[in-house]
């Protein structure tokens, strides 16, 4: 019952991301995943920063708190250079194994 109530409470969260147009948000239970794409890492970083700041602002205004220790990203590219991407004020680390539910 917990994730069901959470999804009802966070229904307008999806609208915040889709209005901005910088990425997509996927929800499963009480987990949220943001996806974005760009030709450059800097462009991708800008998109993720914009979306994450928007989401963190929504959480704050809704008297909720995001768990920054769970912020992570996976970057598909041909070289082995995986930069640190900032998620508003939180640092996201690149992960090798991505769990997809």
The pLDDT of residue 51 is 82
pLDDT digits (tens, 9 = 90+) for 10-59: 777 777 766 666 677 877 777 788 888 888 878 888 888 888 888 888 88
Strands 90-94 and 72-73: parallel
The pLDDT of residue 97 is 65
Does residue 6 have a pLDDT over 70?
Answer: yes
The pLDDT of residue 87 is 72
Classify residue 50 as exposed, middle or buried by CB count within 10 Å of its CB (0-12, 13-18, 19+).
middle
How far apart are alpha carbons 81 and 94 in whole angstroms?
10
Does residue 73 have a pLDDT over 60?
Answer: yes
- DSSP-based three-state secondary structure for 67: coil
């Amino acid at each position: 019952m917990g994730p069901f109530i959470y999804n009802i409470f966070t229904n307008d969260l999806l609208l915040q991301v889709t209005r901005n147009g910088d990425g997509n948000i996927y929800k499963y239970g009480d987990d949220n995943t943001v996806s974005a794409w760009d030709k450059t890492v800097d462009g991708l970083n800008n998109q993720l920063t914009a979306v994450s700041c928007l989401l963190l602002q929504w959480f704050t205004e809704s008297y909720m708190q995001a768990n920054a220790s769970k912020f992570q990203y996976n970057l598909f590219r041909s070289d082995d250079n995986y930069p640190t991407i900032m998620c508003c004020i939180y640092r996201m680390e690149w992960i090798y194994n991505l769990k997809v539910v």
